[in-house]
Amino acid sequence: MPETHENTIDKPLIWKEKHQIRSYDVDAEKRATLMSLCRYFQESAGHHSQTAKLGYDHLLEMGQFWVLSRFFIEVDRYPLWQEQISIETWSKGPEGIFALRDFIFYDTDEKVIARGTSGWLTLDIEKRRPRRLDYFAEIMPYVSDKHAVEHRFSKIPPIEKPDIKSTFTVCYYDLDISNHVTSTKYIEWILISFPIEYLTTKQVRNFEINFMAESLYNDEILILWDETSQNKKVTSVMVKRKTDNRELCRARVGWD
């Protein structure tokens, strides 16, 4: 049996909700994008945290906010426009400074179409530094040995031969409610740095990203690929800020 902590009606151990794939969440082939799946997951995770009084407003009162630090997803099938899907998500409890959370996407036949795991931090609003999660286990219901994927997070290594593929300037609509670039925007920047031939003939089957620093309004962003991983099934990518050469994230993109 899974190891559980405080499952109640008001604070459910496993959160499940439905989403319908909207026209603005799909690509030219009417498939939900990877960014959309990530947004659905984050929305459901937020709703679940809210039940334990660990949502955005609750943390704001403590001078903190949630940030996604690690993210990994495997996709078997991308749902189509107007399709109804459901997402199941649960906290796996704290691990060091991280709060771990897994998720599974299902179609209407309850067939798994995607699954993944994530690691979250709480940052101090003023200092922008991680806070300890001593209180987390006492408040948030969790199950520590139910796993959506057999994946343990580790640092993604630096790329060997970086090659600049795209540049962006952070605009106002790239920011989220914490006033920094939203996590899904990095995923979008990374994917659109690939040529159209890649995006129309291949699909992302797994994607992992490690966030390392914040990006703010008007920052100039560089997307770099590892030349040694091009034309392979896994592409290593790095995102940097041009002004100070600071690494913002590293990612691995697995193609079919």
Place of tokens 């999660």: 133
- The whole-angstrom separation of Cα 165 and Cα 134 is 42
12 and 131 part of one domain: yes
- Give the CATH number of the domain where residue 191 resides: 3.10.129.10
Place of tokens 């009162």: 61
Evaluate whether residue 133 is within a structural domain.
yes
- The whole-angstrom separation of Cα 94 and Cα 97 is 7
Question: Which pLDDT value is given to residue 4?
Answer: 45
134 and 185 part of one domain: no
3-class DSSP state of 184: helix
101 and 177 part of one domain: no
Structure tokens of 177?
């409610």
Question: Which pLDDT value is given to residue 200?
Answer: 92
| 10 pLDDT tier (thresholds 50, 70, 90) | low
Which residues span the domain enclosing 227?
162-255
196 and 242 part of one domain: yes
Does pLDDT of 227 surpass 80?
A: no
Structure tokens of 119?
């690691």
80 and 25 part of one domain: yes
Q: pLDDT digit string (tens) for 96-144? A: 888 999 999 999 999 999 999 999 988 888 888 877 777 766 777 788 8
112 and 68 part of one domain: yes
Report CA torsion sign: 29, 35, 36, 41. Answer: positive
Q: Does 230 or 151 have the greater pLDDT score?
A: 151
Domain count across the chain:
2
23 and 79 part of one domain: yes
Evaluate whether residue 193 is within a structural domain.
yes
Question: Which pLDDT value is given to residue 3?
Answer: 46
Cα→Cα distances 246→94, 112, 226, 231, Å? 28, 38, 17, 27
- The whole-angstrom separation of Cα 96 and Cα 21 is 36
Evaluate whether residue 246 is within a structural domain.
yes
Rounded to an integer, the average pLDDT of 220-229 is 88
- The whole-angstrom separation of Cα 142 and Cα 100 is 9
Q: pLDDT digit string (tens) for 169-215? A: 999 999 998 899 999 999 999 999 999 988 999 999 999 999 999 99
Residue where one domain finishes, among candidates 84, 111, 143:
143
Residue where one domain finishes, among candidates 143, 171, 194:
143
131 and 60 part of one domain: yes
97 and 204 part of one domain: no
Rounded to an integer, the average pLDDT of 20-43 is 97
CB 208 within 8 Å of CB 144:
no
Rounded to an integer, the average pLDDT of 70-81 is 98
Residue burial 85-109, b: 16+ Cβ < 10 Å; e: rest? bbbbbbbbbbeeebbbbbbbbbbee
Question: Which pLDDT value is given to residue 64?
Answer: 83
Evaluate whether residue 153 is within a structural domain.
no
Does pLDDT of 247 surpass 50?
A: yes
23 and 93 part of one domain: yes
Evaluate whether residue 8 is within a structural domain.
yes
Evaluate whether residue 148 is within a structural domain.
no
Place of tokens 């995923």: 187
Rounded to an integer, the average pLDDT of 69-80 is 97
pTM of the model: 0.91
Evaluate whether residue 156 is within a structural domain.
no
| 230 pLDDT tier (thresholds 50, 70, 90) | low
Evaluate whether residue 75 is within a structural domain.
yes
The residue type found at 203 is Q
Residue where one domain finishes, among candidates 113, 143, 173:
143
The residue type found at 184 is T
CB 176 within 8 Å of CB 216:
no
10 and 125 part of one domain: yes
81 and 194 part of one domain: no
